[in-house]
Chains A and B, each alone.
Chain A
Amino acid sequence: MRSVREKTRDVMRILEVARELQRDESLIQKLVASTGLSIEGVRKGMAEHLETDATEDDVERFVLKFGDVSRVTLILAANVFVGSLRAIACARAKGERVTVRPSSREPELAAAIVRALGDPNIELVSTVEVRNLREGEIHVYGKDETIAKFRAAAHVPVIGHGHGLGVGFLTTKTPVEDVLAGLESDIVAFDQRGCLSLRVLFVEGGPARAEEVGRALHRALNTTKVPRGELTREERAESVRFSDTMTMVGEVFAGHAHVVAVAPSDAPAIVPPTCRHVLVRCALRDAEVTSALAPIAKWVCAFGTDDVARARKLGPVHARFSALGRMQKPRLDGYVDLRVT
């Protein structure tokens, strides 16, 4: 069994390797090809959202959150590309040995980290036969359905990290202009493909303020310096469906690569598709936020706000609460998904 010091060293080494990869132009090109994000989108992810800035003290606190198992088999079924760094770090903090199976859709960063590490205790595989695993535990990042399938087949414990989304709450104490850059960043990063991505924004106040925020967000997204990546045909179809539906409900501000829909306070918090689609919904009272959140609360992984103390009373306990603009920049403090116990 490794000491805390040894574990900290192992995780620090992973972060060090990731820092080197941040500047690896050939990897960035590969990530553009595998993710479909724009090159600016990949650069933003690598520069701003790859969690490499943790100090040794941070990492020591991080490793203390994990117990010890002989082996962690890490299955990355679906995650944003930078997510593989924290997933490997968590697996390594816990496992004496780690087997990494990267996402078939986005294998590049996980593979690059493992190769660059050259750690004999971390191996890279392309397939995993779950039912044959007899030691340690399995960490799976993917849909609930995928996790359930692995749980059904496995003979060892399965730690599942399901899909999720981010919501925001902007109170009346902050003018929208003060948080616009942060909102833009929370939406633009990874084209909203992350479980921490902002997709529904509650705005304290009446319909006029929600519309003002919607318009401001529309302007910000129109002038963003990070172009959206390519959409699949299905994603384009979802965009059309969302736009037409929300036009029936309220105001829709559609740009060339985003849609901001403003809904009245009696509309449910319908979750928009990914790829820069946002629902802005006004809330005259805090109770309107909690009741609108109730049907989707179990999927809320991130809660961005200008008033964290107040938001904690409104959002689900398992959400990560942060300032707007920090939703997709969580500290390296354990599993990214706080729903995992």
Chain B
Amino acid sequence: MDPIEESNGLHDHVQAMVAAFEGNEPAPADPNTLACDIARFQARNIPGFARLCARHGIDPDELVSAADIPAVPTDAFKLTRVFAFEEGEPVVFQTSGTTVGRRGRHIMRGTDTYDAAALAFGHRMLMPPTLGVQPPFIPVLVLGPPPSEQPDSSLTHMFSMFATQMGSDATGQETYFLRDGVFELARLDERVARALALGEDESVLLLGTSFAFVHFLDAMGSDTFRLPKGSRVMQTGGFKGKSREVPAAELRREIARVFCIEEGDVVSEYGMTELSSQFYTYPGEDTLASIFTEPPWASVVPVDPETLEPVEDGKIGIARIVDLCNVDSAVVIQTQDLVRRERDGFVLLGRMPGAAPRGCSIAIDEMLGPS
């Protein structure tokens, strides 16, 4: 079959799964079977992935379980083209960090599947339950730069999409409050004041990176910046050496304090450039504050870093992530993030440290610096 046609067919299946989720209907396809179909497509069209399958003794044509699909290390996105098509780069998202001068690149044919999945799950996890499923919704404010400043960032793309698709009508000036690396607090203040003036029901959704929130907290000191009642804050990502590091629970507590909202209304997102799907902590419930949940089209399995086999229940492993939305790149990726399954989700426990040097040879972690 023509690779484009095959890719289109697989995207259709994944989008149907997303639509079913939105409509609270049963999944129209078995995620496991679909993952294997995508892996076969990728093995036929990505030589590196075909080699990886061979190295692990996997014949893609014989795959029956997503658990057997070899995971592509996220490092590979920095070193080679992980894309099912030799020509063209219709959409490229790049990582912010570099490895030996190279940024990771996630190439996509388009963002339709990404957008549909991100919106469906983002809406479910971020929007206050009092809101309906049809727009217009609530003001979406971004403690980050506009897309024009970071056109190749998947996170900025997602924020922008949330603002336009989930938010009420607003201009860029009314949405993005970080320009050229400077917070525009006066404009944010004015925007929030306008929302407050509209009454008790005019809650907002504030999106930002962890390090942006830390800078915001540092700027505010002991002051508060009251958001309308019922507002939610979504924070994501690590600190990447761009701010002081704050433990997750403390950051959540401090965000809740400064914005005068409940801790349960601070939702954490876990995602990465190499993925097309995202994971969120359960909103509203303090007891589940650190547990990330998955959409039906993506799953996280802690695996042993040495054998890459799933670890026993309750044990810590590195996150192997199946993401059906990665149709044209890598349906299973291997991260170095430490996770543990808990209840119906997983907790993030930082990044696996590299091997300690046993001599004067430089270690990989030392070269990479803070991540």
Residues of chain A touching chain B, judged by Cβ–Cβ distance below 8 Å, are 35-36, 78-80, 83, 105-106, 141-145, 161-165, 190, 192-195, 197, 199, 232-238, 240-241, 243-249, 251-252, 263, 267-271, 273-274, 294-296, 299
Contacts and interface: CB of A to CB of B under 8 A. Distances in A.
A238 B75 CA distance: 12
B226 to A, nearest CB: 41
Contact of A248 (B79, B353, B359): B79
B305 A240 contact: yes
A238 B79 contact: no
A227 B273 CA distance: 40
Question: Which of the listed residues A165, A237, A267 has the most CB atoms from chain B within 10 Å of its own CB?
Answer: A237
Interface in B315-371: 334, 336, 352-364, 366-367
Given A234-B355, A248-B76, A194 B364 contact: no
B135 to A, nearest CB: 41
Q: Which 7 A-B pairs have the closest CB atoms?
A: A193-B359, A295-B101, A237-B305, A248-B48, A234-B355, A248-B76, A163-B362
B358 to A, nearest CB: 5
B80 A248 contact: yes
B253 interface: no
B96 to A, nearest CB: 16
B364 A271 contact: yes
Nearest to A239: B306
Q: Is the interface of A mostly helix, strand, loop or mixed?
A: mixed
B102 interface: yes
Given A163-B360, A249-B79, A299-B367, A241 B73 contact: yes
Nearest to A238: B355
Contact of B357 (A143, A161, A269): A143
Contacts of A268: 78-79, 99-102
Question: Which of the listed residues B79, B101, B334, B362 has the most CB atoms from chain A within 10 Å of its own CB?
Answer: B362
Interface stretch (B5-13, B49-57, B196-204): B49-57
Given A237-B306, A295-B101, A165 B359 contact: no
B308 interface: yes
Contacts of A193: 357-361
A267 B358 CA distance: 28
Interface residues of B, number: 39
Contacts of A249: 48, 76, 79-80
B358 A105 contact: yes
Interface in B77-109: 78-80, 82, 99-102
28 contacts: A78-B357, A79-B360, A80-B359, A141-B360, A142-B360, A164-B361, A165-B361, A192-B361, A193-B359, A194-B361, A234-B354, A235-B355, A237-B305, A241-B336, A244-B73, A244-B76, A244-B334, A245-B76, A247-B48, A248-B48, A248-B51, A252-B51, A268-B78, A268-B79, A268-B99, A268-B102, A270-B79, A296-B367
B48 A164 contact: no
A247 B52 contact: yes
Given A190-B359, A233-B306, A235-B355, 18 more contacts: A144-B366, A163-B360, A163-B366, A164-B361, A193-B358, A195-B361, A232-B356, A233-B305, A237-B352, A241-B73, A241-B305, A244-B73, A248-B76, A249-B79, A273-B355, A273-B364, A274-B355, A274-B361
Contacts of A294: 101
Interface of B: 48-49, 51-52, 55, 70-73, 75-76, 78-80, 82, 99-102, 305-306, 308, 334, 336, 352-364, 366-367
B99 A234 contact: no
B70 A244 contact: yes
B360 A234 contact: no
Contacts of A235: 355
Nearest to B76: A248
B360 A161 contact: yes
A163 B361 contact: yes
Contacts of B70: 244
Contacts of B52: 244, 247-248
A82 to B, nearest CB: 10
Nearest to A291: B101
B100 A274 contact: no
Question: Which of the listed residues B55, B99, B363 has the most CB atoms from chain A within 10 Å of its own CB?
Answer: B363
Contacts of A233: 305-306
A145 B80 contact: no
Contacts of B102: 268, 295
Contacts of B363: 143, 163, 274
Nearest to A35: B358
A194 to B, nearest CB: 5
Contacts of A251: 51
Question: Which of the listed residues A80, A246, A294, A299 has the most CB atoms from chain B within 10 Å of its own CB?
Answer: A246
Given A233-B306, A241-B73, A296 B100 contact: yes
B55 A252 contact: yes
A10 to B, nearest CB: 24
Contacts of A190: 359, 361
Contacts of A80: 359-361
Nearest to A263: B79
B354 A299 contact: no
Contact of A195 (B73, B100, B353, B360): B360
B182 to A, nearest CB: 30
A267 B99 contact: no
B361 A267 contact: no
B362 A299 contact: yes
A245 B72 CA distance: 7
Nearest to B49: A248
A270 B99 contact: yes
A299 B306 CA distance: 28
B361 A234 contact: no
Contacts of B336: 241
A78 B360 contact: yes
Contacts of B364: 238, 271, 273
B79 A247 contact: no
A165 B362 CA distance: 6
Contacts of B75: 241, 245, 270
Contacts of A232: 355-356, 358
Contacts of B362: 162-165, 195, 271, 299
Contacts of B51: 247-248, 251-252
